[in-house]
Structure 1
Amino acid sequence: MTVVGARRRVVSTTLLIALALLAALVGAPRALAATVPSPPASVTMTSGNGSITVTWEAARDGGSPITGYVVDWGATGTLATTTTVPGALRTVTFDGLTNGLSYWASVCAVNAEGRSRDCQGSTSMATPGTPGLPEDLVASQLPGGTVRLSWLAADGNGAEPSRYHFSAYMADEWREIDTASWVPGPEGPGRYWVDLDDLPTGAEEQFHVYATNRFGSGAAALLRYRPYWMGEMPAGHALSDGAEIRSPDGRYSAVMQDDGNFVVYADGTRPLWDSRTWRGRDTRVELRDDGDLVVFDALGWSLWDSGTAGNPRSRLAMQDDGNLVLYAADGAALWSTGWDRGAGVVRDTMWGTQQLTTDRSIVSRNGRYTLVMQPDGNLVVYAPGRRPVWDARSYAGAGRRMVVQADGNVVVYNEFRAPVWDSGTWGNPGARLALQDDGNLVLYSVRGEPLWSSGWDRGVGAPRDTLWATQQLTTDQSLVSRDGRYTVVMQADGNLVLYAPGRQARWSTNTWNGLRSRLSLQIDGNAVLVAPGKRPLWDSRTWGQRDVRLTVQDDGNLVVYAANGRALWSSMSGRTY
């Protein structure tokens, strides 16, 4: 018996299996591979004032999103500059270009597959615009306090400047001057100039000069300048912080410093004379109408004067020989600082980087005291009659010298450049060393505070039983009681020892360490024994007191006294308050 329906089902199943196998062999349809993008369309350039703007239409992405556009551009005939912009942008502007030059640009699109094979380009020209900067703006000082500004003509960028404009920030306000009438002047071909009078000296001024043409105003050239007096200053004028008078040859200057000191300098660095009026800012030196030259502090108090009142119409001249001279109306010299005697001549003061070599000296203003760098290497202060007042005990031998260093430390070096004595005052740049009329050799800070001193002359035969604020005992130096029985010695082993008769040690700081230490009576009242490097080893704990003294007494007691005579510390009982 034949079953027709079953046979049909078998045939249908076989056909379906065959069709499935055929589909597997042929495979599913595949997507097309991504490519680099096409070049952007419609690249155009438009000109601005010193600028070019490049625009384009979006490129076809080639099946991968565009990540950016690469713009190659430059002036015609020059190498390309490449700039990349994000893919979302269709424009870029290039500024700071030269008007009148032709520029080109080409644009390529970029995606993950790379850069389009062909780039679209365009050419344009930057159009004329506002003027450029006036070039080489300079200031020169003329006699009588006049300042001349001059500059080279500005580039018109295709349209010549019609005029120049000038403004200045003087005395805390801007002053604008229209300069339509200015023409090239005596400063040279193509240079323009203007003379300015009654400028305040000392303060830094700002000057602006800019050009205009039919397209507008150009950028301003800026000059900062500090006016000064050239040659001389007439009566009725003053020098404030930073102001100066310069000699006609420019080598010498009389400067009112912002520390209050009025100083004559050679070559801008070597002081020849000063008024010794360190009183801080807002001090001024004024040549008054009556002919008196006066240094005033910020409150108007007189700190120094030339004593030349009664000479109206006088003038103060800074001469080419380094002499600052006050002249009367008839030309007679009323007062002067003295001419420059040369770099090798030192007076009563030494400044940073100056030296004393063998047999060189400085002399107090009254001529009574002399500081000498001896041939044996010892640095000594002498009173009249060659009487020693103080010495550093720095027997350095040949090649010795004393240096006031730029860091504020006074050092005696031997021939091997090794220090054999120093004041221990580093960290004070700008300090000065002065030999005073009382025989005291003092190192002052830039603020006029004493940092170190040798002590004043107490007369012939006076015992050295006392150490005063800012004084020191260095290696082998000592104090002796008035009766001569007790001695305090700063030993070479670093120990400070009080000896009784018979060389019996009565007290010590117990600081022997083999180092060249020093005992310093600080300006704050504390007696401190320090090792090299300013490392404290011992102190009296008497800080907070000014004008103290350390005395070795006839009873064998070493005492720190306050200015009112109260004992603050003693070797017998320690701190007493």
Structure 2
Amino acid sequence: MSAILAAALALPLSATAHAGAIDRTDDKLSAGEVLKPNESVKSENGQYRLIQQAQGNLVLYGPGNTALWGSPTSGATAYATMQREGNLVIYNTSNQPLWGTNTAGHPGAYLKVQNDGNLVIYSASNEFLWSRHAYVGSLPSGHTLKTGQWVQSKNGEYKLLMQKEGNLVLYNRANKALWTTPTADRPGAYAAMQKEGNLVIYSAQNAGVWTTKTAGNAGAYLAVQNQGNVVIYSKDNKPLWSAK
């Protein structure tokens, strides 16, 4: 997963990456709207641009054409759609889903490219559901937390943060650390909720340094609960592991 995302962010960052891109007229991708290859949505201030690239990945560019975020979907012609049930999904030309934000269950949700460079999905009632920095409630199977990204509980009381020194740390609202992985002194490390069921901390060199040892449970996901529990559940919601 990390290698795919790294490839997504390694695309050309010059102005030629934007050549021929068609901008939408606002800063949102509303429910039911589609971004085809070379179509884009820009922030109101014009400094940030989300482009569905011909190479297959959805990429957010900032000032100086710097890639800030990219979906792990390079290598195949694809399109992005803000589905009416609330998911942002990238499909290939055979209409097979390649990646999604796991935000279904919120009809009318929309994606916004903000003036501060954040990429956010809001519900129809403007409730925060997902951003390029954060997940709400859970880290889905196949998704990754890079440095500075986190999963927060739905009530906003707890945050599981991937820190720059390499630890994955659970904080409460008072910013008190409640739990941590023993993975410090590894700058650039990241956490991956692998498709086979393991949560793994990798070093910046892609070496596994810590795991929950929950492999063999395809589709498992990590949850940060309103009570402050960090739990890995199977795809049928059976608990497999919890932070001690």
Please indicate the TM-score interval, normalised by the length of the shorter structure. 0.5 to 0.7
Partners in 2 of 1:444 and 1:385 — Cα distance?
A: 27
- Partner of residue 394, structure 1: 73
CA contact (8 A) 2:62 2:117 kept: yes
Instruction: Tell me: CA distance 1:504–1:391, structure 2 relative to 1, closer, same or farther (3 Å).
Output: closer
- Partner of residue 446, structure 1: 124
- Partner of residue 62, structure 2: 383
Instruction: Tell me: CA distance 1:405–1:536, structure 2 relative to 1, closer, same or farther (3 Å).
Output: farther
Q: How many residue pairs align between the two structures?
A: 186
Q: Secondary structure at the match of 2:64?
A: coil
Partners in 1 of 2:89 and 2:194 — Cα distance?
A: 20
Partners in 1 of 2:215 and 2:62 — Cα distance?
A: 35
**Structure 1 position 510, deviation (Å):** 2.5
CA contact (8 A) 1:377 1:396 kept: yes
Equivalent residue for 1:424, pick from 102, 115, 119: 102
- Partner of residue 152, structure 1: none
Partners in 2 of 1:376 and 1:443 — Cα distance?
A: 23
Instruction: Tell me: CA distance 1:433–1:511, structure 2 relative to 1, closer, same or farther (3 Å).
Output: same
Query: Are positions 1:412 and 2:95 aligned together?
Result: no
**What is the TM-score normalised by the length of structure 2?**
0.62
Equivalent residue for 1:433, pick from 111, 114, 121: 111
Q: Secondary structure at the match of 1:416?
A: coil
Unaligned regions of 5+ residues in structure 2, if any? Answer: 1-22, 135-145, 155-161, 166-185
Which amino acid is 1:497 matched to? V
**Structure 1 position 538, deviation (Å):** 5.1
Higher alpha-carbon Rg = 1
Partners in 2 of 1:394 and 1:369 — Cα distance?
A: 20
CA contact (8 A) 1:409 1:422 kept: yes
CA contact (8 A) 2:147 2:190 kept: no
Equivalent residue for 1:455, pick from 126, 133, 136: 133
CA contact (8 A) 1:383 1:389 kept: yes
Higher relative contact order (CA 8 A, sep 6+): 2
Query: Are positions 1:355 and 2:38 aligned together?
Result: no
- Partner of residue 365, structure 1: 44
Unaligned regions of 5+ residues in structure 1, if any? Answer: 1-343, 457-462, 472-478, 541-573
- Misfit runs of 4+, over 3 Å: 479-483, 499-506, 513-532, 534-540
Identity of aligned residues (%): 32
**Structure 1 position 481, deviation (Å):** 3.3
Instruction: Tell me: CA distance 1:537–1:442, structure 2 relative to 1, closer, same or farther (3 Å).
Output: farther
**Structure 1 position 491, deviation (Å):** 2.9
Aligned-residue CA RMSD (Å): 3.6
CA contact (8 A) 2:187 2:203 kept: no
Instruction: Tell me: CA distance 1:411–1:487, structure 2 relative to 1, closer, same or farther (3 Å).
Output: closer
Partners in 2 of 1:418 and 1:374 — Cα distance?
A: 17
**Structure 1 position 484, deviation (Å):** 1.8
**What is the TM-score normalised by the length of structure 1?**
0.29
Query: Are positions 1:511 and 2:214 aligned together?
Result: yes
**Structure 1 position 513, deviation (Å):** 3.4
- Which moves more between the two structures, 384-393 or 482-491? 482-491
